[in-house]
Structure 1
Amino acid sequence: MDRSDFRERLRGQIEESYGKLSYTYQTQQEAATLKRMLANGISICQILLTAASTCGVISVFFSQVGLVTAIASITSASSLGLNLYTRGSKLPEKAEEHVRCANRLWAVLQDYESLLTDFDDLEVGEIRRCRDLLIEKQAEIYAEAPRTSNWAYKKARKRLKNGHQSFEPEEIDKLLPSGLRSHACEE
C-alpha cells in the first residue's frame, strides 16, 4: 500500500473520530440545557400550583363552593406530585453531570484539532500514538458519561448542521485581539 494512501486513511479515521466526538460533546451540552429547562419549568409549575392551591384553600373558608374545593384539592395534589418527582429526579445534579462530561470532551476535541493541525508535520508512528491516546481518553470519559436522550441528540444535530461550532473567517478575526487580526479583515 502506498504510504500517502495510508496517511490519508489515517487522517480520515481521525477526522471521523473528531466528528463523532463533536456530536457527543454537543449532545451532552443539549442534554444539560434540556434538564435545566425542565427543572425550571417544573419549579415555575410548583410555584403556580402552590399559589393556586393556597388561594383555593383560603376561598374555601369564605365560601362553601364545591368547585373551589375540588380545584384546591387538584392543585394541591398536583403540587405534591411535582414536589415528590423533583425530589427524586435530581434534575439540576444530572444537568451538572452533563456539563462536566461536556467539559472533559471539549479538551479531547481540542487535542483532535491540534493533531489534525499538526498532521502533515508528524511521522505516522507519532500520529498513531496520539490517536491511540485520544481514543483512550474518550473511552475513559464515555465510561462515566451520563446517558442522553434522542431529543438532545436531535437538537445537537440541528445545531451542528447549522454551523453552531464554526465561524466565518471575518467572525473569527473580529474576536481576536487587534494585534492578531489579519490585515485583510480590519475595519
Structure 2
Amino acid sequence: MSPKENYKLALEAQIREAYGKIVYSQTCHHKMAERFYKYNRRWKWVQIILSAIISCSIVSILFYDEFYSKAISAVLSGVLTGINLYLKNSNLSEHTKEHQKVAHELWKVREEYVSLLTDLDELDKSVMVKKRDELQNRTYEIYKNAPKTDSKSYKEARKVLKNEEEQTFSKKELDLMLPPALRKNKTNLR
C-alpha cells in the first residue's frame, strides 16, 4: 500500500472516530436535556399538589378551627417554600434548553460527518482535510460554550447507542418511513 493510500485510510479512520465522538456527545446532551426536563416536570407537579393541599387546609381552617389543619398548612407551606427556592436557584428549564441547543448543533455536525464519510471516495485528499478541519473547528466552537454532561448521561447514551441502537434504523424501518415510491423493498413491509 502506498503512503498516499495509507494517509487516506488514516484520514478516514480519524473522521470515523470523530463521528463516533459526536454521536456520543450529541446523545449525552440529549439525555441530559431529557433528564432536566423530567426533573422540572416532576417538581412542578409536586408544587401543584402541595399548593392544592395547602389551599384545602386553609379552607378547612375557615370552617373548622382545628389545630391539625393549621399544622398541615404551616408544615406544607414551609416545604413548598423550600421547593420554590430550590427551583428558583436550580434553573432546570434553562439547563434543559442549553442541552437541547447543544444536541441540535451537534446533530448538524454529525450529519455533515455522515455526508463526508459518504463522499470520501469521490473527494480529493485536500478537500477531505479541509472539510475535516472545518468540522473540527465547528465542533470546538460548540463544545467551548456547551454545558457539561455527567457520567449518568454518558452511561445512558452508551446504553441506547449500543444496546437499543437509538441512532440507527433497520432497512425495513427506513423503508416504512419513506413514501412508497422511494422504498427499496416494495413488498412484505408490514
Aligned to 1:26: 27
Alpha-carbon RMSD across the aligned residues, in angstroms, is 1.6
Aligned to 1:173: 175
TM-score by length of 2: 0.90
Contact 2:33 2:97 in 1 (8 A): yes
Once residues 84 and 166 of structure 2 are traced to their aligned partners in structure 1, the CA distance between those partners, rounded to angstroms, is: 36
Aligned to 1:37: 38
Displacement, 1:93? 2.0
Q: What is the percent sequence identity of the aligned residues? A: 34
Displacement, 1:26? 0.7
Once residues 79 and 155 of structure 2 are traced to their aligned partners in structure 1, the CA distance between those partners, rounded to angstroms, is: 31
* Total equivalences in the alignment: 185
Superposed, which structure 2 residues align to 1:1-187 within 5 Å? 2-61=3-62, 62-65=64-67, 67-161=68-162, 162-182=164-184, 184-187=185-188
Whichever residue aligns with residue 109 of structure 1, its letter is R
Whichever residue aligns with residue 119 of structure 1, its letter is L
Listed one character per residue, the Cα deviations across residues 154-176 of structure 1 (whole Å, up to 9, x for unaligned) are 21221111200001111111211
Once residues 132 and 4 of structure 1 are traced to their aligned partners in structure 2, the CA distance between those partners, rounded to angstroms, is: 20
Displacement, 1:136? 0.2
Listed as ranges, the gaps of 5+ residues in structure 2 are none
14-23 or 84-93, which deviates more: 84-93
Listed one character per residue, the Cα deviations across residues 2-41 of structure 1 (whole Å, up to 9, x for unaligned) are 3222211111111110001001101111111111111110
Displacement, 1:102? 1.1
SS of residue matched to 2:169: coil
Displacement, 1:68? 4.1
Once residues 151 and 10 of structure 2 are traced to their aligned partners in structure 1, the CA distance between those partners, rounded to angstroms, is: 31
Whichever residue aligns with residue 169 of structure 1, its letter is K
Once residues 113 and 56 of structure 1 are traced to their aligned partners in structure 2, the CA distance between those partners, rounded to angstroms, is: 59
Listed one character per residue, the Cα deviations across residues 126-165 of structure 1 (whole Å, up to 9, x for unaligned) are 1111110000000000111122222222212211112000
Once residues 59 and 148 of structure 1 are traced to their aligned partners in structure 2, the CA distance between those partners, rounded to angstroms, is: 47
Once residues 165 and 29 of structure 1 are traced to their aligned partners in structure 2, the CA distance between those partners, rounded to angstroms, is: 12
Once residues 150 and 78 of structure 1 are traced to their aligned partners in structure 2, the CA distance between those partners, rounded to angstroms, is: 30
Once residues 34 and 17 of structure 1 are traced to their aligned partners in structure 2, the CA distance between those partners, rounded to angstroms, is: 26
Displacement, 1:185? 4.5
SS of residue matched to 1:173: helix
SS of residue matched to 1:186: coil
Once residues 167 and 127 of structure 2 are traced to their aligned partners in structure 1, the CA distance between those partners, rounded to angstroms, is: 28
Once residues 9 and 148 of structure 1 are traced to their aligned partners in structure 2, the CA distance between those partners, rounded to angstroms, is: 30
Contact 2:22 2:106 in 1 (8 A): yes
Contact 2:180 2:186 in 1 (8 A): no
Contact 1:170 1:185 in 2 (8 A): no
